Amino acid sequence: MMRALTFHGTHDVRVDTVDDPEIINPRDAIIRVTSTAICGSDLHLYDGVIPGVLPGDVLGHEFMGEVVETGPMSTLEKGQRVVVPFTISCGKCFHCSLQEFAACDNSNPAEKQDMSETMYGHAASGLFGYSHMTGGYSGGQAEYVRVPFSDVGPIVVPDHLDDDQVLFLSDILPTGWMAAENAQIQPDDTVAVWGCGPVGLFAIQSALAMGAAQVIAIDHYPHRLELARALGAKVVNFRESNVLEALMEMSGGIGVDAVIDAVGMEAHGFAMENILDVVKQKVGIGADRASALRQALMAVRKGGRVSVPGVYGGLADKFPLGALMEKGLQLRTGQTHVQRYMKDLLSRIEEGELDTTFLISHRLALEDAAEGYRNFKEQQDTWTKVVLKPGMVTATN
């Protein structure tokens, strides 16, 4: 038996004793988790706005650790230190062969796909710790985790880099990078990023690394905006300023060249349309609160580029389709094809080009994971990123 963070209902997660994972398929490996993080995507589960999460499900999709068991077809070896991508991908299907790893056709078992196929036209692929719509796989906020297709996903990391430096290769670093890549940044661009959570911060860092002339960060939390400023961004606090007016002024009256929505389906905001979204999401008649995305589509210049790493799960009201078409915008989005970026980003970390540790605000024992969720949700400003350490002794007992 082992300890793991399990879902019990909206705003109710607990560390329970559950069965140890076992090798099921020849390509599996079992990892002893040394570090695992809580993600903004986990908050969508915590807030009960993603369907298909059941009581007892083990959450967590950002994790790394030591290989302790391997199936006969795993290419990993016991004792290796690996970071595991949150996307589960077979490496062999049509999509994997195009490096569209987050669209893998083989990682979500057929009997679990129905709802996603109805909602999206095609079945979603497998993700760790992220609802039965994406396979119902047990996640990595646990002492041990089974990693399917372990010959494709995990990347072995060198010992001279510590966990904090490489953990975010599992999700948010590639997600920020792909967000900037999807914004197709040109050297003289002004890029605006909504949301200064971990994804937004890494998107800002990536956009600057790709040569953007000016990056403007939008949020309402002073500390998070300060982190963005420290990276080299200009900041707009949407509680204090009119975002659209500020962006027009900062882009010489043309509008920004590219926009990145790193907020997703639970946008905050005080405009009437967002308040209506909140009510609809609560009563279950409109899944997605798209106010940041609406604003981004208004702010981007004609012919500009729209990148959406923020997660949306269902339908959005009042989506400005007219702005998208009439302004001739390009839109790119998606769950991140993590495996496509891990190797390159690992070498950028090794060379010191990218810093991954600046946003970690709290390191807790796995036993204190519920407290981590509560604070990451309720004290967002200062709890920027929580890393859980299964080996650490709890502070509360």
Task: Name which of 104 and 297 has its Cβ closer to Zn ion.
Answer: 104
Cβ contacts of 331 within 8 Å, gap of 6 or more: 306, 308, 324
* The only residue of 45, 83, 90, 203 in contact with Zn ion, by rule CB under 5 A: 90
Residue 57 interacts with, from ligand NAD, Zn ion, none (CB under 5-8 Å by kind): none
CB closer to ligand NAD out of 67 and 388: 388
112 contact, one of Zn ion, ligand NAD, none, CB 5-8 Å limit per kind: none
93 is an interface residue for Zn ion by CB under 5 A: yes
Give which of ligand NAD, Zn ion, none residue 93 binds (C-beta under 5 to 8 Å, depending on kind).
Answer: Zn ion
Can you tell me which residue has the tokens 């056709």? 105
Which residue ranges make up the site for ligand NAD (CB under 6 A)?
39-41, 43-44, 171-172, 175, 194-200, 218-221, 224, 238, 262-264, 267-269, 291-292, 309-311, 335-336, 380
Closest to Zn ion by CB, 143 or 171: 171
Residue pair 79/66 in contact by the 8 Å Cβ criterion: yes
Question: Smallest distance from the beta carbon of 208 to Zn ion, in angstroms?
Answer: 22
Question: Which one of Zn ion, ligand NAD, none interacts with residue 175, CB within 5 to 8 A by kind?
Answer: ligand NAD
Q: Would you say 301 or 362 has its CB closer to Zn ion?
A: 362
Residue among 332, 193, 323, 330 at smallest CA distance from 260? 193
Calpha distance 125→153 (Å, rounded): 14
Q: Which is nearer to Zn ion, 35 or 41 (CB)?
A: 41
Our finding on whether 39 is near Zn ion (CB under 5 A) is yes
Cα 42 from Cα 58, distance rounded (Å): 11
**What residue 71 binds from ligand NAD, Zn ion, none (CB within 5 to 8 A, per partner kind)?**
none
Closest C-alpha among 179, 171, 177 to residue 40: 171
Judged by beta carbon, residue 76 or residue 258, the one nearer ligand NAD is 258
Q: Which does 43 bind (CB under 5 to 8 A by kind): Zn ion, ligand NAD, none?
A: ligand NAD
CB-nearer residue toward ligand NAD: 7 or 144? 7
27, 63 contact by CB (below 8 A): no
Cα 185 from Cα 330, distance rounded (Å) = 13
Give kind and range of the element (H or E) at residue 149.
Answer: none
Nearer Cβ to ligand NAD, position 142 or 262? 262
Which part of the chain contacts Zn ion (CB under 5 A), choosing from 71-79, 90-98, 138-146, 318-326?
A: 90-98
SS3 174: helix
CB of 297 to ligand NAD, least distance (A): 13
With CB under 5 A as the contact rule, the residue among 70, 106, 251, 384 that binds Zn ion is: 106
Q: Is 104 in the site for Zn ion (CB under 5 A)?
A: yes
Q: Which residue blocks in the chain are alpha helix, DSSP H?
A: 40-46, 94-97, 114-120, 163-166, 172-182, 198-209, 222-231, 243-250, 272-283, 291-299, 321-326, 338-350, 369-378
Least distance to ligand NAD, CB of residue 182, Å: 10
**195, 225 contact by CB (below 8 A):** no
CB of 191 to Zn ion, least distance (A): 22
Q: Is 235 helix (H, G, I), strand (E, B) or coil?
A: strand
Helices and strands, counts by H and E, the chain: 13, 17
Q: Which is nearer to ligand NAD, 149 or 202 (CB)?
A: 202
How do strand 386-389 and strand 300-308 relate by DSSP bridges? unpaired
Residue with tokens 């199936």: 71
169-198 binders of Zn ion (CB under 5 A): 171
Contact with Zn ion (CB under 5 A) among 35, 36, 41, 138: 41
Q: C-alpha angle with apex 122: 117 to 126, nearest 5 degrees?
A: 85
- The one-letter code for the residue type at 354 is L
Contact 29, 154 (CB under 8 A): yes
Among the listed ranges 31-39, 241-249, 302-310, 334-342, the one in contact with Zn ion (CB under 5 A) is 31-39
Q: How far is CA 14 from CA 31, 139, 157, 225, in A?
A: 21, 14, 30, 31
Contacts of 13 (CB under 8 A, 6+ apart): 5, 6, 7, 46, 59, 369, 370, 373
For Zn ion, give the closer residue by CB, 264 or 286: 264
* Residue 36 interacts with which of ligand NAD, Zn ion, none, CB < 5 to 8 Å by class: none
Residues near Zn ion, by CB under 5 A: 39, 41, 62, 89-90, 93, 96, 104, 106, 171
